[in-house]
Amino acid sequence: MRILWHPGAGGGGVVSPTQPTVEAKPVSNGLKDLSKITILLVDDSSNWRRENSKWLIKAFNCTVITANNPDEALTLLKTINPDIIVSELNMGEKSGLDLARERPQNIPFILISNCFPTDLKTDGLNISAKIDKGHGVELANAIRSVFAEDK
């Protein structure tokens, strides 16, 4: 587990030159104040976790906590209560779907992947969004849509 940045703790993220920069949208128009959210980011790729954590911190000025795999995320969930979980689909022994099944169902969940199988079954898992793994723009938009108050 790594807390990359926490509001009030000083410091901040630096966006990688390989990631597009975007300003966080204003917190008006029915959006929750996204600077107050905590995101649990789960992926077995340390590079993807690092780059997207920096990107989300830059976009939202929020708290990002990372986990290497679903087991580490489930251990963290015993002591933290994130506002949203973002998880890769394909990882080692357990997948993002396993994490989606085992997490507290009241926590919104975004599933990411380089390639979603056509027969992927997510019924009953309360998945907020499924997005292609890639740049942070799609991820930031998916997070914004989860927290839009007038859905």
Q: Express each pLDDT in 83-95 by its tens digit.
A: 999 999 888 889 8
**pLDDT (0 to 100) of residue 78:** 95
Assign 111 to helix, strand or coil.
strand
Residue with tokens 């689909």: 89
Mean pLDDT estimate for the chain:
75
* Mean pLDDT, residues 11-26 taken together: 36
In a domain, 75, yes or no: yes
Rg (CA), the chain: 14
> Per-residue pLDDT for 149 more than 50?
yes
Give the mean model confidence (pLDDT) for residues 62-70: 94
What is the number of helices (H) and of strands (E) in the chain? 4, 6
Residue 136 DSSP class: H
Q: What is the CATH number of the domain that holds 66?
A: 3.40.50.2300
Q: Residue 103 sits in which domain range?
A: 2-8+26-114+128-134
| Residue 150 resides in a domain | no
Amino acid at 93: E
User: Which pTM value belongs to this model?
Assistant: 0.76
Residue 55 is predicted with a pLDDT of: 87
d(CA 97, CA 5): 27
Give strand pairing partners of 63.
38
**Does residue 121 sit within a domain?**
no
- The C-alpha atoms of residue 17 and residue 45 are separated, in whole angstroms, by 19
Number of domains in the chain: 1
**Does a structural domain hold residue 51?**
yes
pLDDT of residue 103: 92
With respect to residue 21, please indicate whether it lies within any of the assigned structural domains. no
Closest by CA to 96, choosing from 119, 66, 127, is 127
Tens digits of residue pLDDT in 102-141:
999 899 998 888 765 566 666 666 677 666 776 678 888 8
